[in-house]
Amino acid sequence: MKKKEKFIKTCDLSVSHVLLDFVNKELLPGTGISTNQFWRGFSKTVHDLSPKNKKLLETREKIQKSIDSFHLERKEKKFNFNEYKIFLQKIGYLKKSGPNFKIVTKNVDKEISSICGPQLVCPVTNARFLLNGANARWVSLYDSLYGSNIIPETRGALKGKTYNPIRGKNVIEYSRILLDKYIPLKNISWKNLDKIPNINNGKLNIELRDKKQLVGYKKVKNKLTSLLFVNNNLHIDIIFDYNKKLEKNNPDGNQDPLKIHDVILESAISTICDHEDSVAAVDAEDKVLGYRNWLQLMKGTLNSKFKKKGKIIKRKLNPDREYYSVKNKKIKLHGRSLLLNRNVGHLMTNHAILLKDGSECPEGILDAFITSAACLHDFKKKGNSRTNSIYIVKPKMHGPEECAFTNLIFDKVEKFLKLKKNQILCGIMDEERRTSVNLKECIRILKKRVFFINTGFLDRTGDEIHTSMEIGPMELKGDMKSTKWIKTYENNNVDIGLMCGFSGKAQIGKGMWAMPDLLNEMMTQKISHPMSGANCAWVPSPTAAAIHALHYHEIDVFSLHQKIKKRKPANLNHLITIPVNNDPNWSKDEIEKELKNNAQGILGYVVRWIDQSVGCSKVPDINGIGLMEDRATCRISSQHIANWLHHGVCSKKQVLEIMKKMAKVVDYQNLKDSSMKDQDPYQPMSGNFEKSIAFKVACDLVFHGKYQPSGYTEPLLHFNRLIKKSI
């Protein structure tokens, strides 16, 4: 049995000693804020804001009950869309759109305002992943191509365990094609150069079609070692071998007549350090792990040791990159992604702190205080934001009122930390239906601090299903993507962002590529994100960031914005069209296949979350393809089965039998998954259904899914993870 957590009374609060020690001994020293000041100010603020937080959650429930009643009262009638729209307006769900306006956010770093590119999302509790994410600002194209399925393993080009010169040759040839495409030479192809170029007095001895693309260079002992170019505001650094010793240790460069050692792409322009969907943080111990990692990122001291191929490797933050400009002046480029912090939403509470009435502290308020205070350390050295801005992505806000509450939280934190007004900038996750249909008004509330909006198909669809649970059975998940509302949702996000002046000031983002091993498929498909007008989109790994960066070399997103502004705006009526199937004619096989797919995803995610405290990982799907799973994927799958159960598409007995069958599949996949060896010994669910907490939780998410607040998975996951930790 785990030792009971110790709490210490301070300023009308009961604070876990783990959190108290972290704040007092690690967070506050060097900030000019005393421990007494911090806890007194936090206590006053959290006791003032908690009732407001609670009232907003009660409003969510009240609105949901009204919508449920509307559908139930008209169960036997033909659905009347106009009546439905008027009803949504009457209950305050659908707000009146006000006059047009432009956001006035100030002090935004150029990574947000003027560079279009990939955005990584990393669990804040994993130091190694965070360092990989921060350092993914600059990624090897050679390594990314060599290790991915973009280069086919045909005609002897196998990856193997040692370097394969046949595959290396293919990588070099592919890279030359890209150089010809994005940094074209005037009279010759990169493929036909046979010796390292030279640069004297800022002049290159090979002629570029666009001379402005050459930014700088490096030399060692008067020999060129690097040429730095730019295309669509993204840098490409060509690294050359320059002595025999380096050539000997570099087989990929050795087989290249031009002696290019590597091509380094500016890749993950920004990285979200996530306290929310990708972590399993349920108590003070978990929260402090994430807070400490974020603090050390802001101090620039985060490091991680791990074993690879029998060797101990220490990873730390990359330094800035230094070059000489074409005018022979020293220039410096930022060596790391701009780091953003995703706090939790308004729903969650955490018993790391208990208020004077014994209730748990709203976790989002705690996150705002701690993560913002950590940024005070960065302001001294500008290792992250060069404008002294704090970037907090705020998820799961339902409509303008909840955006206003976020604004109030940030106002309070700014005053307490003696920051400038609107120094904390806010990213709006457009992932809840009430935010989507009122996005313009949500942005209006935060127009002085908004830096980011994005779309997320999974959470947004989970909320779509839950909101309209009573109307009828929802479409197959795969068919959802071709329905009216999802296409409108994706376009509306861009339309509203551009209408509100985001272009050149803030990010318009798109969702995650969920298959990190299928990068050739990503290369083909994810170009749709910059083509949609998104100036950033999520990727699951540094390698995926490098590959996705190529799409932003291909598409000039800011120029595209001018064309998109001229199109007809998305139709609000389509956005509130419910993806219900009133006359389903699915076969038994189709229903079973859908249930198996959903059940497998839920079980694969939940067993790692509950048993291993892994909040995001590559979980094999029903076909064995690794998918990046987080709580959003769990939400849509559990809500989808819950909806079908509620409307009799399937039975509880049928679902339970499928859950048990798929548990065996998941157990088999996990027992042979080498990545699971880094975790605690895996505990199979099958053969232990009555005692497996993970299996019970997976079933509860489905069988009690209709009654979960907004269809969220967090309450059940957190409660049961705490039980698991106490055993």
Query: Which residue has 């506050």 as its token pair?
Result: 28
DSSP state of 25: I
Distance, CA of 381 to CA of 339 (rounded, Å): 15
Contacts 24+ apart (CB under 8 A), 29-38: 30/376, 30/377, 31/373, 31/376, 31/377, 32/376, 33/373, 33/376, 33/417, 36/11, 38/373
- Residues sharing a CB contact under 8 Å with residue 77, sequence separation 6 or more, in sequence order: none
Round to whole Å and give the CA distance between 148 and 75: 51
Please name the residue that has the structure tokens 């806000």.
397
Task: Measure the CA–CA gap between 535 and 529, rounded to whole angstroms.
Answer: 8
- Which contacts (CB < 8 Å, 24+ apart) does range 85-91 have? 85/573, 85/576, 88/437, 88/576, 91/63, 91/66, 91/67
Residue 24 gets which letter from DSSP?
A: I
Catalytic hit among 321, 342, 444, 460? 342
| Bridge partners, 719 (sequence order) | none
Amino acid letter at 673?
A: D
Asked if 204 contacts 227 with a C-beta cutoff of 8 angstroms, the reply is yes
In whole angstroms, give the CA distance from residue 360 to residue 287. Answer: 14
3-state secondary structure at position 290: helix
CA distance 479 to 482: 6
DSSP-assigned states of every residue in 190-211: GGG--S---EETTEESS-BSSG
Those residues whose C-beta lies under 8 Å from the C-beta of residue 309, and which sit 6 or more positions away, are: none
Q: Which residues pair with 220 in a beta bridge?
A: 223
**H-run or E-run covering 362:** strand 360-362
Measure the CA–CA gap between 177 and 182, rounded to whole angstroms: 9
Burial-class residue 591 by CB neighbours within 10 Å (0-12, 13-18, 19+): middle
Alpha-carbon span 639 to 59, nearest angstrom = 21
Name the burial class of residue 601, with classes exposed (0-12), middle (13-18) and buried (19+) by CB atoms within 10 angstroms of its CB. buried
State how beta strands 507-510 and 536-539 pair: parallel
Q: List phi, psi (to 5°) of 414.
A: -60, -45
For residues 344 and 353, is the Cβ–Cβ distance under 8 A?
no
What is the C-alpha radius of gyration for the chain, rounded to an integer number of angstroms?
26
User: Positive or negative CA dihedral for 56, 58, 64, 65?
Assistant: negative
Instruction: Out of 459, 630, 667, 700, pick the active-site residue.
Output: 630
Active site residue 630: yes
Nearest residue to 713 via CA among 628, 635, 597: 635
- Annotated catalytic residue 342: yes
Closest-CA residue to 120 (of 653, 474, 512, 576): 512
Q: Are 215 and 238 in contact (CB under 8 A)?
A: no
442-477 core/surface letters (b: 16 or more CB in 10 A; e: else): bbbbbbebbbbbbbbbbbbbbbbbbbbbbbbbbbbb
Buried-state track 27-55, b at ≥16 Cβ within 10 A, e below 16? bbeebebebeebbbbbbebbbebbeebee
CA 344 to CA 290: how far, in whole Å?
Answer: 12
Which positions are annotated as active-site residues? 342, 630
